[in-house]
């Protein structure tokens, strides 16, 4: 079985996340893509929405795709938020599976990965979606820190740059602007129903 692991804060999930996950699934021949929200972040401000809300928004967004699943391992008590600690847990849940981690170019280029060699050792592939403003060189430089055998597991996905970000969604909501069609429709309904991200009855 080929399992894709898509980690992030998903604060909230947006359409580019779904596009990247589905494209990675098709390009890499994945049987399943796990969306793995994290709660303990080390390299950025804490998420604005609760873990329960972020999980609910993911579940709603992926419900129409049988190959997508929500994995709550990294929001459970005791989770460290480090991918190096997450991967053995996923491997134990899917014995014998080939594991592919999916990430955006901004994430790897930031160089903020802790125990990156250990992460790559636990994976069969680490695939990177391009992101506006992040050059392939920056990705290459970040991957340079590991041995060539491990670097061979890092691969750029041949995809277009997509402008969506959760920051953009949160910013628009804080300005009481619409995010409809930037996020999946059921996620948008959830945000409106719960007045998330400072929406406060605005016309989202």
Binding site for ligand ATP (CB under 6 A): 8-11, 16-17, 20, 103-104, 106-107, 129, 131, 162, 164-167
Q: Which is nearer to ligand ATP, 148 or 175 (CB)?
A: 175
DSSP per-residue string spanning the chain: -EEEEEEE--TT--HHHHHHHHHHHHHHT-SEEEEEE-S--SSSPPPSS-HHHHHHHHHHHHTT-TTEEE--GGGSTT--S-HHHHHHHHHHHSTT-EEEEEEEHHHHHTT--SSHHHHHHT-SEEEEE--TT--HHHHHHHHTTS-HHHHTTEEE---------HHHHHHHHHTT---BTTB-HHHHHHHHHHTGGG-TT---
Contact by Cβ (8 Å): 73, 35: no
Q: Which is nearer to ligand ATP, 36 or 146 (CB)?
A: 36
Q: Give the nearest distance from C-beta 38 to ligand ATP in angstroms.
A: 8
Q: Which is nearer to ligand ATP, 92 or 163 (CB)?
A: 163
**How many other CB atoms sit within 10 Å of the CB of residue 115?**
13
By CB atoms closer than 10 A (0-12, 13-18, 19+), residue 72 is: middle
> Which residue has the closest beta carbon to ligand ATP?
104
Q: Give the nearest distance from C-beta 95 to ligand ATP in angstroms.
A: 26
Q: Give the nearest distance from C-beta 188 to ligand ATP in angstroms.
A: 16
Q: Give the nearest distance from C-beta 3 to ligand ATP in angstroms.
A: 17
Q: Which is nearer to ligand ATP, 38 or 146 (CB)?
A: 38
Q: Give the nearest distance from C-beta 96 to ligand ATP in angstroms.
A: 26
Q: Which is nearer to ligand ATP, 58 or 146 (CB)?
A: 58
Q: Which is nearer to ligand ATP, 20 or 142 (CB)?
A: 20
Q: Give the nearest distance from C-beta 103 to ligand ATP in angstroms.
A: 4
């Amino acid at each position: 079985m080929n399992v894709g692991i898509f980690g992030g804060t998903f604060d909230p999930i947006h359409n580019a996340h779904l596009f990247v996950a589905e494209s990675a699934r098709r390009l890499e021949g994945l049987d399943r893509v796990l969306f793995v929200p994290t709660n303990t972040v080390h390299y950025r401000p804490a998420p604005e929405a609760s873990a329960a809300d972020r999980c609910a928004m993911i579940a709603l967004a992926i419900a129409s795709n049988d190959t997508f699943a929500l994995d709550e391992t990294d929001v459970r008590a005791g989770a460290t938020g480090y991918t190096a600690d997450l991967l053995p847990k996923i491997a134990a849940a899917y014995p014998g599976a080939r594991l592919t981690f999916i990430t955006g170019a901004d994430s790897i280029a930031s160089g903020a990965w802790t125990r990156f060699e250990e992460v790559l050792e636990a994976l069969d592939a680490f695939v990177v979606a391009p992101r506006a403003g992040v050059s392939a060189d920056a990705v290459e430089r970040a991957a340079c820190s590991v041995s060539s055998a491990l670097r061979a597991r890092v691969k750029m996905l041949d995809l277009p740059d997509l402008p969506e970000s959760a920051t953009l969604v949160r910013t628009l909501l804080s300005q009481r602007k619409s995010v409809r069609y930037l996020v999946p429709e059921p996620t948008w309904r959830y945000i409106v129903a719960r007045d998330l991200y400072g929406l406060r009855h605005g016309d989202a």
